[in-house]
Amino acid sequence: MQDRLRVAVVTPLSEEMCELIERLEPRVEMVRDQQLLPPVRYPADHTGDRSFRRTPEQQQRFEQMIDSADALYGLPGEDSAALRRAADANPGLRWVHTMAAGGGAQIKKAELSADQLERIAFTTSAGVHSAPLTEFALFGLLAGAKNLSRLQSDQAAHTWPDRWLMGQLREQTVLVVGLGGIGAEVARLLAAMGTRVIGTSRRGAGVDGVAEVVHPDELVDVVGRVDGIVVTLPGTAATEKLVGAEVLAAVRPGATLVNVGRGTVIDEDALAEALRDGRIGFAALDVFAEEPLDPASPLWDLPNLLVSPHNAALTPAEERRIAELFAENATRLLNGKELRNPVNTVEFY
């Protein structure tokens, strides 16, 4: 336990939110200098204007602020190398909170020492994004069931076709790959709509609304009996290309695929082939293995694929929700309690 917590604000954060955190936990001092932070382009813009550059004098002040802090609100410049510098330069650094729900990947990239990973607690903003990402998942599933790409194609061609059947989620079975916070919320809402839900879990733990739980290793045996697949998994060595060529070859023809987890979970080359031959009837992706998506990527031009530029989680309330989560964790840290959303520093999720 400690009496005070000095927090360096190293990602764009409004004065209103800084004051909110200090009001919610008066033992916290939010140390910030708005001149040292890039201007925001939209609400909850954690990167800020990419053209922003600090002068050498400003960079020195920025690093001095970081090096005197007990904790960091965000990753400096969303840059893993800057995190490594902070961990090396500041032996008193005890806690770093990432803006992303999947901040583990950035921490892994910093290649911190075992001692640093032991000394510094890392937390993420997991849970803040569950509601908007769940809505995007439902949107993608509905777009597939209702054949949005066909509707758009006919509209563009000014074609009024003969009537054709649309799918209904209440008559479908959907596989939720990953039953964490987002996956559990997706499952809950799907079940409320009458959808039969299958979920994956390495621990086999049950979740409300999930009729059947399978191990991720069983994907290839399960995908042939579902109408839709929602991926919510983080990007780790264990999940990389988990939804690969073998799994996509086994899907029920015409299935819908939605990804609101991490782009590395899906083999994008195999997905492109599955979209071309109709094994995947429709896909809605908010995340990609490399972002921004390469302008030369074939994914852009597939008529049955919806590209969302990692935008599904962004809502006007995000900044406040992250600030409130941070304040709660600050109280826990100061009181010697377990933090919410700790990063697993073995698998980094």
Inform me whether the pLDDT recorded for 282 exceeds 80.
yes
Per-residue pLDDT reduced to its tens digit, 74-122: 999 889 999 999 999 999 999 999 998 878 888 999 999 999 999 999 9
| Average pLDDT along the chain | 95
Q: Given CATH 3.40.50.720, say whether it is the number of domain 130-307.
A: yes
- CB 120: neighbour CB atoms within 10 A? 21
Amino acid at 178: G
**CA distance linking residue 306 with residue 28, whole number of Å:** 43
Q: Is the pLDDT of residue 218 over 70?
A: yes
**Beta carbons of 223 and 237 less than 8 angstroms apart:** no
Over range 123-148, report the average pLDDT: 96
For residue 171, what pLDDT band results from cuts at 50, 70 and 90? very high
Asked if domains 5-127+315-334 and 130-307 share a fold, the reply is yes
Residues 129, 262, 279, 318: which is the catalytic one?
262
Is 215 among the catalytic positions? no
CATH code for the structural domain at 5-127+315-334: 3.40.50.720
Mean pLDDT of 245-256: 98
pLDDT at 40 > cutoff 80: yes
* 173/169 Cα distance (integer angstroms): 8
- Residue 205 pLDDT exceeds 80: no
Q: What are the domain boundaries of the chain?
A: 5-127+315-334, 130-307
Catalytic residue among 6, 310, 321, 332, which?
Answer: 310
Query: What pLDDT is attached to residue 1?
Result: 59
Judged by phi (left if over 0) then psi (alpha if -120 to 50, else beta), residue 49 lies in: beta
Q: Does the annotation mark 279 as catalytic? A: no
Report which of 101, 90, 95, 53 is spatially closest to residue 73, judged by C-alpha positions. 95
Mean pLDDT of 139-163: 97
Predicted local distance difference test score (pLDDT) of residue 333:
97
Active site residue 291: yes
Which listed residue (111, 212, 290, 291) is catalytic?
Answer: 291
pLDDT at 147 over 80: yes
Q: Is the pTM of this model over 0.85?
A: yes
